[in-house]
Structure formats: structure tokens, C-alpha cells
Amino acid sequence: MLDRMLAQRDLFTLVGELARKRRIIGPVRRENHFFYEEVADVGTLDLSFNYCVYGPRAFLFPPTETLFTFNRFDHTFTAKPVLDVRPMAFVGVHPCDIHAIRLLDRVFEQDHRDAHYLARRSHTLIVGVDCRTPCTEGVFCADMGTHSAIEGFDVMLYPLHRDGRDDTTFGVMFGSDAGRDWILYSRRGAIPTAADERAFEQYEREKAAAFPRHLRMHANDLPELLDRSYDSLLWEATARRCYSCGSCNLSCPTCYCFNIYDESDLSGTTGRRERTWDGCHLKNFAEVAGGHNFRPRAASRLRHRIYRKAKWVRQRTGLAGCVGCARCDRACTAKINSVEIYNQLAEEA
């Protein structure tokens, strides 16, 4: 069931109004690729983007951020947390990335609440844009069940009628009160008619047919497949090509590992503790003082990443650790391909 019909130009007017209260982040074209960027002029957003090279996670969990500032004096110190509560709106998030954000939400909320992530997240409105067809070759979101989203957004837009870049009509679904209020308050758009609902059903049918499957097994069976594959020679054979560059981690919308370090002035009296993205494919990720490394080989690190994405994260959070966006596969300098790894493991098992 749709909640509203909205023409693209009305949507942009609404986003323009939103921009008075929130930083707007959305897909912007840079030569042949799209990136999530903060835009000053909503006209630079392009909602017909194929895919963004990186997911929007950098705006919720920045590549580096200050956790707190400190001040040392007279045998004691004070430390002040730095929390970013500036309101944001992500406009134009595909379902896979919505699933990725849900995972980050869960991770930073469970066991111990991470106020730094949650401050940004709880001030973020998410406007999704559904994908009618795969955004590019090699994505396996349909295999992972992440090519559609039923939650994790405030508003979802379905591009039902598309007559060129500037003339799309969206079917709108509300995911939260905030999303509903934003759309309905303006009185723009229209109540969906029976014909709109039929168009939506047709859209869904076409969509179901448009996404090919790439995995030779059901995603739910991946954990069990991996259970049988710990000692496979494939890890060593595949990782022989790995440069341990971490591009896979960098491009992943669900990677959330980080490092913590201090920056201080020369006297050491004031400074800040920062965190920065880290990646489990980097050589020293599991190395301790004295030089012992718990995952010294590229093969053990590759296995760690794949197990984490396809099994352990799900085990811990109940949500998929891999959303099938294939960004790691596209980013990999050595053309290591996760779908290929799964399918080869399935063949062995």
C-alpha cells in the first residue's frame, strides 16, 4: 500500500524546505560516478543515480572523529565528549544501504550505547529510493534479501512513472511519524488512486523478475557453508592475490571497525582522543605489543572478513553483515570476488 504520490519537482521543493533545518546529504555525480555529498543546492542531487561508490556511512560514522577533548592540569584532568547533533537528512538511499544503516544502528546500540554514532543517527532523517532494476552488474542484493527495505527509513520513494531524469512520479511509503509529517504537512502530492496501486503492483512484479540470483545457495545457508569451510585451501589460494590494502573494508557500507589514538599539543596539556576507520584486512589489525599477530597471513584475514560478513555479524546482531552491494568486489585491487568465494566453497562442500 502506498501512502502518497509525489512528483519529483514537488519532492525537490520539499527537500528544499527541509534544507532550512537539516544538512542535506545525497547522491551527486562526479564525472562518471556518484558519491554521497552534503549539498548546498538541492538541485545538484540526482535521484536517478545508479549507485554511489561508497555508502552513506561516513556521515554517521566519519572516517575520523573526536571522541572527547581533554585538559590536564594540577594532577588531574577533565574530558569533554564531542557529540554531533546537527540535524541531517539523507535523500536518496538505496535499500541495500538502508539495511547497512540498520546494522550499524544495531551494532552501536547493543551491549553498550555508543553516543557518538547515536547522536548523529537519531538526528538523521532517511529518504530511501527503491531500485527497480539492479544498479549495476555483479550486485547480489537479491540473494541477500536486501534489494527491498520495509523498515529503516522515514520515507521510501518508488519511482513508478519515469519519463526522463526530471519527470519521475514517486509512490511514497512512510516509515516513521517524522517522515509522514514531513510529506503530509506540505499538502503536496496526491492520495494514491486504484490505478496507482495497480502500477505499484506491476512495478513490484517487474522488479522481482529483474534481479538475477548469483549465489548457488540460499543466504541463510551461508553460515553453515562457512562452518564446513574453515580449513578450505581456497582461503590461501585466493588470498595469494590479496595486497592487504583494505580497499574492501573501506568500500564496505557495514564495516565499523576502528582505531583509537590521541592528538595533543606539544606540552601535552590539551588534546583530543580520536577514532578512525580501521580494516581487518590490514596487516597489523590483530597485532599486539611485542609483535605477535593473531592473523598474520592474508588468508586468515580474508577468511576473517568473509566469516564476519556472512556469519558472525548475523550471529551477534540478527541482521545481515553483508548487504550484497558488491562494493568490495568492485573495489578490490586484486579482483577478489566474494560471490565467487561463496560459490567455490559451495562446490567443495
Ligand X SMILES: Cc1cc2nc3c(=O)[nH]c(=O)nc-3n(C[C@H](O)[C@H](O)[C@H](O)COP(=O)(O)OP(=O)(O)OC[C@H]3O[C@@H](n4cnc5c(N)ncnc54)[C@H](O)[C@@H]3O)c2cc1C
Shortest CB 3 distance to other proteins, Å: 5
d(CA 235, CA 219): 20
Residues 93-132 that bind ligand X (CB under 6 A): none
d(CA 60, CA 228): 36
Examine residue 288 and tell whether it contacts ligand X (CB under 6 A).
yes
- The site string for ligand X over 307-336 (x = CB under 6 A, - otherwise) reads ------------------------------
Shortest CB 241 distance to ligand SF4, Å: 7
Closest CA to 98 of 61, 133, 130: 130
- The site string for other proteins over 185-224 (x = CB under 8 A, - otherwise) reads -------------------x--------------xx----
Residue appearing with cell numbers 554531533: 84
Examine residue 291 and tell whether it contacts ligand X (CB under 6 A).
no
Shortest CB 331 distance to ligand SF4, Å: 6
Shortest CB 291 distance to ligand X, Å: 9
For residue 345, the tally of other CB atoms under 10 A from its CB is 21
CA dihedral 287, 291, 294, 298 (to 10 degrees): 80
Helix (H, G, I), strand (E, B) or coil at 292: coil
Shortest CB 288 distance to ligand X, Å: 3
Examine residue 85 and tell whether it contacts ligand X (CB under 6 A).
no
Which of 44, 276, 315, 333 binds ligand SF4 (CB under 6 A)? It is: 333
Range in contact with ligand SF4 (rule: CB under 6 A) among 61-69, 125-133, 153-161, 245-253? 245-253
Whether residue 181 contacts residue 282, with contact meaning beta carbons closer than 8 Å, is answered with no
d(CA 27, CA 141): 19
Whether residue 45 contacts residue 27, with contact meaning beta carbons closer than 8 Å, is answered with yes
Range in contact with other proteins (rule: CB under 8 A) among 40-48, 167-175, 183-191, 331-339? 167-175
Shortest CB 183 distance to other proteins, Å: 11
List the grid coordinates of 150: 520495509
- The site string for ligand X over 139-178 (x = CB under 6 A, - otherwise) reads ----------------------------------------
Residues in the chain: 349
Helix (H, G, I), strand (E, B) or coil at 55: coil
d(CA 209, CA 205): 7
- Positions touching ligand X (CB under 6 A) are 288-289
